[in-house]
C-alpha cells in the first residue's frame, strides 16, 4: 500500500530535505549574511574569509560596477560615482536629507509631469540615474550570491532586518530592493528584535532588556520582554538619521574648524570623511590618533585625543539618550527595571558610547556577541524557522509598529484605529457612518501620527468607497479595517455592511517621511496633549452644531408650516445664534450650550411634526380595525 507523505504546514515534505534560508543585515556601513548550519547560526564569509561587505557601490560607464571592498578602494579616486550609506536615502525625498551638502555625489529630486517633487531621491552616476533601492539591491544580490556559493545551492528565502523606526515608505523600499535582488523575502524584522533573538537563544536569559543599536547610519532603541521563547517588543524608538556617519561628520567638522578650513569639492569631502572614520576607529583602542587628509594642495595632519572626539560627539550621544528616555516612558518602566542592555552595531564600540550607556542604566552593557554580526545572526535564526527547518518551533516573535494609524473624521479630526506600539501582525476595525442624507460615497483618508488633528499628522493614503445605498444620515454602517502585516506594512479596507460593497488600498505612502518628523510627532503628541484635547472638543462641538443646524433646516423646509409666526421667529433666532457661535467661537462649552438651546427650542416643533405624521398615517382608516 502506498504511503501518503505528510508534513507540518510550512515545513519541507521531505523530512531529510532542508530549505536553505538566510538572514541579511542590510547595514549603512557594512552588510552581512548569515545562516543556520549544523544547528548553529553563523555569518557566511566571502572567498577571502571576510564576513563584512562594505555597503558601497561604484557605478561605471557601460553598466559596469564595483561592489564592496573594490568600491571602497575607489572612493577617493571617483567619489562622484561611488555611493556609500545608501540606506540613509531609502524612502526619503530630497527635502528630507539634511546632510546632502556633505555628500560628494549629486542627488536628484524625482518629479512628476507637472514638475512637482515626489518620490524617493535618486543619484546621478556614470552608469545613469540610480535610486537607493537599486544601490541596496546590488548589495543584497552580492550577499545572495555569497550564500549560494557557500551552500552550492539555491536560496529558499531571506529575512532582512530594518531599523525599528523605519516608516512604511522605507520598509517598502527595502522590500523592493529584495525583489530586484532576486530574493524571496520571508519577512522584514526590526534590527533590535533580531539582536534579541540572538542574545535570548544564546544566553537563555529572561526579563526586560534594552537593545541599544547604534549603526553606521541609524539609531534604534527597543525595550523587550523575553519569556519562555517569546520575544515581545514593549516599545521602540530611535532616529534613522543618526549613526556612525554623523560621528564621522562631527569629528571632521571639529578638525576643520580647528584649522579654519572647509571641504568644498567631492574629493575633499570624501577625503575628510575617510580620515575621520579611520581616526574614530583608531581612538577605540588608543587615547590619541592622527587625522590625516589632503585638501587640494594642503596636507592636514592633526593629533586628535579621545577627549577631543568625545567632546565633539557628545551632543550626538545625548540625542540617543533622549530617545532612550522616551522609549522607557512609552514602555511604562524605569531604567532600574531593565535587567540588561544589549549593545548592537559597530558604532557601539566607541568607549564614550559604552561609558554613557553604562552610566545611564547603572550597569555594564552586554557585549559578549560581536555587535557587527548579532543582527544578521538573529535574522538567520528567524529565517530558519520561517523556512520550516526548526521542528521545535519554540520561537515566537512579537514586534510592534512605531506610530499610531487612523482615519480622518468630520472636522479634520483623527480617529486612531491601530495604536502606537501595537503588537504586529494585527488587524483592527471600527464602524463609521454617513454625515448627510442620501450620501452614496465616502472618502477615506489614512493618516499616521499621535496628534488629534489631521493637519498635525502625516498623510499616508486616500481612497473612496462608492456605491453606498442612499439612506438617512447616520443609517449606513461602514466598517474600516486596518491590517498591519508581519513586515509592518499596512492595508486598509472599507465595507458597507448592508450592501456588502467594499474598497481597499495597500498603503504605499509618499516617500520622504523623515525620522526627525516621527520623533517630532511623538514629542508633540506629549507636549501638546492638553491643547489637542481642547481643540478636539471644539471641533466635535462644531460638528454637533452643524449636524443639528442641517437637520433643523431640513425639517423646516418640509414641515415649517405647522409653526406659528412667533415659534418660527424663536427657532430662527436660536439657529442664527448657533451659526454665529459656529463661525467665531473657540469655546467648546459655549458651542455645546448653543446646540442644547436649539435642541430644547425645537422640542415643541419635533412633537408637532410627529403628530402630523401620525395623523397622515391614520387618515381615512377606521381606528377600530387597526
Burial degree of 150 (CB within 10 A; 0-12, 13-18, 19+): middle
Burial degree of 617 (CB within 10 A; 0-12, 13-18, 19+): exposed
State the number of CA atoms in the 13 A half-sphere of 411 facing the CB.
19
List the beta bridge partners of residue 290: 303
Q: Where in the sequence numbering do the catalytic residues fall? A: 25, 87, 191, 213
Give the C-alpha separation, 125 to 65, whole Å.
11
The alpha carbon of residue 351 and the mean position of all alpha carbons in its chain are separated, in whole angstroms, by 30
Count of all residues that appear for the chain in the document: 626
User: What is the arrangement of strands in the sheet containing 65-67, beginning at the earlier edge strand?
Assistant: 65-67, 56-59, 82-84
The alpha carbon of residue 333 and the mean position of all alpha carbons in its chain are separated, in whole angstroms, by 23
Give the C-alpha separation, 155 to 44, whole Å.
13
Cell 518551533 belongs to residue = 393
Contact 419/448 with Cβ under 8 angstroms?
no
Contacts of 438 (CB under 8 A, 6+ apart): 470, 471
Phi, psi of 429, rounded to the nearest 5 degrees: -135, 155
Positions of E strands within 469-618 = 478-484, 490-496, 502-506
- Helices and strands in the chain, H and E counts: 14, 28
Q: Where are the alpha helices (DSSP H) in 155-224?
A: 168-180, 191-203
Q: Is the dihedral of CA 160, 165, 168, 170 positive or negative?
A: negative
H or E stretch covering 258:
helix 244-259
Give the chain's end-to-end CA distance (angstroms, integer): 76
DSSP one-letter code for 283 = T
Burial degree of 546 (CB within 10 A; 0-12, 13-18, 19+): middle
Amino acid at each position: 500500500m502506498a504511503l501518503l507523505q505528510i508534513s507540518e504546514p510550512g515545513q519541507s515534505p521531505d523530512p531529510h530535505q532542508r530549505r536553505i534560508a538566510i538572514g541579511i543585515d542590510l547595514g549603512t556601513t557594512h552588510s552581512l549574511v548569515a545562516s543556520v548550519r549544523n544547528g548553529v547560526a553563523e555569518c557566511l564569509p566571502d572567498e577571502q574569509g571576510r564576513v563584512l561587505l562594505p555597503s558601497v557601490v561604484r557605478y561605471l560607464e557601460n553598466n559596469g560596477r564595483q561592489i564592496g571592498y573594490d568600491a571602497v578602494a575607489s572612493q577617493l579616486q571617483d567619489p562622484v560615482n561611488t555611493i556609500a550609506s545608501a540606506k540613509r536615502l531609502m524612502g526619503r525625498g530630497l527635502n528630507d536629507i539634511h546632510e546632502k551638502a556633505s555628500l560628494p555625489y549629486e542627488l536628484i529630486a524625482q518629479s512628476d509631469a507637472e514638475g512637482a517633487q515626489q518620490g524617493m531621491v535618486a543619484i546621478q552616476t556614470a552608469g545613469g540615474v540610480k535610486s537607493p533601492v537599486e544601490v541596496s539591491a546590488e548589495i543584497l544580490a552580492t550577499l545572495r550570491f555569497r550564500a549560494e556559493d557557500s551552500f552550492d545551492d539555491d536560496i529558499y528565502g531571506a529575512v532582512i532586518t530594518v531599523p525599528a523606526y523605519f516608516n512604511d515608505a522605507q520598509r517598502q523600499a527595502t522590500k523592493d530592493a529584495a525583489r530586484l535582488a532576486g530574493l524571496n523575502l520571508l519577512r522584514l524584522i526590526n534590527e533590535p528584535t533580531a539582536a534579541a533573538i540572538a542574545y535570548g537563544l544564546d544566553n537563555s536569559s529572561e526579563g526586560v532588556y534594552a537593545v541599544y543599536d547604534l549603526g553606521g547610519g541609524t539609531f534604534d532603541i527597543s525595550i523587550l520582554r523575553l519569556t519562555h521563547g517569546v520575544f515581545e517588543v514593549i516599545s521602540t524608538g530611535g532616529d534613522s538619521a543618526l549613526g556612525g556617519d554623523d560621528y564621522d561628520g562631527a569629528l571632521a567638522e571639529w578638525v576643520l574648524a580647528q584649522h579654519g578650513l572647509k571641504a568644498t569639492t567631492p574629493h575633499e569631502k570624501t577625503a575628510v570623511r575617510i580620515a575621520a572614520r579611520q581616526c574614530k576607529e583608531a581612538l577605540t583602542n588608543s587615547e590619541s590618533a592622527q587625522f590625516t587628509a589632503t585638501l587640494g594642495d594642503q596636507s592636514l595632519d592633526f593629533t586628535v585625543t579621545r577627549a577631543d572626539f568625545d567632546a565633539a560627539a557628545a551632543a550626538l550621544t545625548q540625542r540617543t539618550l533622549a530617545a532612550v528616555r522616551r522609549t522607557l516612558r512609552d514602555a511604562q518602566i524605569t531604567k532600574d527595571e531593565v535587567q540588561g542592555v544589549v549593545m548592537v552595531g559597530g558604532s557601539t564600540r566607541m568607549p564614550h558610547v559604552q561609558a554613557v550607556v553604562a552610566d545611564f542604566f547603572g550597569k555594564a552593557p552586554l557585549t559578549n556577541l560581536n555587535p557587527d554580526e548579532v543582527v544578521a545572526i538573529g535574522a538567520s535564526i528567524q529565517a530558519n524557522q520561517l523556512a520550516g527547518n526548526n521542528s521545535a518551533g519554540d520561537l515566537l516573535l512579537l514586534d510592534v509598529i512605531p506610530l499610531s494609524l487612523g482615519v480622518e473624521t468630520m472636522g479634520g479630526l483623527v480617529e486612531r484605529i491601530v495604536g502606537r506600539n501595537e503588537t504586529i501582525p494585527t488587524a483592527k476595525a471600527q464602524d463609521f457612518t454617513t454625515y448627510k442624507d442620501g450620501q452614496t460615497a465616502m472618502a477615506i483618508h489614512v493618516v499616521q501620527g499621535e496628534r488629534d488633528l489631521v493637519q498635525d499628522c502625516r498623510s499616508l493614503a486616500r481612497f473612496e468607497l462608492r456605491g453606498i445605498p442612499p439612506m438617512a444620515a447616520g443609517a449606513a454602517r461602514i466598517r474600516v479595517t486596518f491590517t498591519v502585516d508581519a513586515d509592518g506594512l499596512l492595508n486598509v479596507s472599507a465595507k458597507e455592511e448592508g450592501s456588502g460593497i467594499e474598497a481597499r488600498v495597500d498603503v504605499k505612502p509618499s516617500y520622504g517621511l523623515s525620522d526627525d518628523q516621527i520623533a517630532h510627532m511623538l514629542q508633540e503628541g506629549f507636549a501638546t496633549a492638553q491643547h489637542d484635547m481642547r481643540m478636539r472638543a471644539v471641533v466635535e462641538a462644531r460638528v454637533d452644531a452643524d449636524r443639528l443646524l442641517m437637520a433643523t433646516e431640513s425639517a423646516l423646509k418640509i414641515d415649517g408650516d405647522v409653526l406659528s409666526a412667533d415659534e418660527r421667529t424663536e427657532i430662527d433666532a436660536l439657529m442664527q445664534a448657533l451659526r454665529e457661535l459656529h463661525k467665531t467661537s473657540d469655546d467648546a462649552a459655549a458651542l455645546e450650550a448653543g446646540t442644547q438651546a436649539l435642541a430644547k427650542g425645537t422640542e415643541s416643533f419635533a412633537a408637532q411634526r410627529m403628530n402630523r405624521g401620525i395623523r397622515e398615517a391614520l387618515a381615512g382608516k377606521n381606528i377600530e380595525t387597526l
